[in-house]
Amino acid sequence: MNRREVLQGLGAAAMMMPAINGLAAQTAGDETVYELRIYHTNPGKLEPLLKRFREKETAIFVRMGMHPVGYWTPDDDPLKGNALIYILRHKSRAAATESWAKFSKDPEWVKLKAETEANGAFVEKHDVTFMTLTDFSPKV
C-alpha cells in the first residue's frame, strides 16, 4: 500500500464512522444536541395529532435527518389528553436548524399539514428546549 492508498483507506474509514456510530450518542468533542418539544394541543386535537405522527410525520423527520429518541403522552392532569412530548437528537445545532428549515418547506409535509388541519390547528402552543447530555448521562 502506498501513501495515497493509505490516505484513501483512512478517508473511507473516517466516512464510515458516522454510520457505525449513528445510534451511539455523544462522544467526546462531538456537537450532538437534543431537542425537547412539548406540544399543547387544541381541544380534541391530540388524537388526530398522534395519528399524523404515527402515520406520516415521524417518517418525514427521519427523512430530514432528525432522529427521534422517544415520543410520550403525559399520564396526569392537567397535561393528560392535551399534550405530546418528544425528544429529537440532531448531529449539531446547525444540522437541527437546517433539518427544520427543510422540513417546513417539504412538499409532503406542507400538503399533509394543510389536509390534516383543514378544520383547525392541532397545536395551540409548543415549547422547545435545546439541550446537551451531561458528562455523567447514559447515552440516548
Partner 1 sequence: MDRREVLFAMSAAAMVPFVSAEAEAKEASGDTVYELRIYHAMEGKLDALVARFRDHTDALFKKHGLKPVAYWNPTDEPVKGNTFIYILKHPSREAALANWKSFHDDPEWIKVSTASEANGKLVEKVDSTYMTLTDFSPSV
Write the single-letter amino acid at 56.
K
CA dist., res. 11 & res. 33, Å (int)? 25
117 CB-near residues (< 8 Å, 6+ apart): none
3-state secondary structure of 28: coil
Q: Which of residues 90-129 bind partner 1 (CB under 8 A)?
A: 93, 129
Q: Which range touches partner 1 (CB under 8 A), out of 12-20, 30-38, 106-114, 117-125?
A: 30-38
Q: How many residues bind partner 1 (CB under 8 A)?
A: 33
Does 140 participate in binding partner 1 (rule CB under 8 A)? Answer: yes
Does 48 participate in binding partner 1 (rule CB under 8 A)? Answer: no
- Using the rule CB under 8 A, which residue among 27, 72, 101, 110 binds partner 1? 72
106 CB-near residues (< 8 Å, 6+ apart): 60, 63, 64
Cell of 29: 468533542
- Using the rule CB under 8 A, which residue among 37, 42, 48, 50 binds partner 1? 50
Q: What angle do CA 101, 38, 74 make, to 5 degrees?
A: 145
- Using the rule CB under 8 A, which residue among 7, 27, 54, 104 binds partner 1? 54
Residues in touch with partner 1 (CB under 8 A): 33-34, 36, 50, 53-54, 58, 68-76, 79, 84-86, 93, 129-140
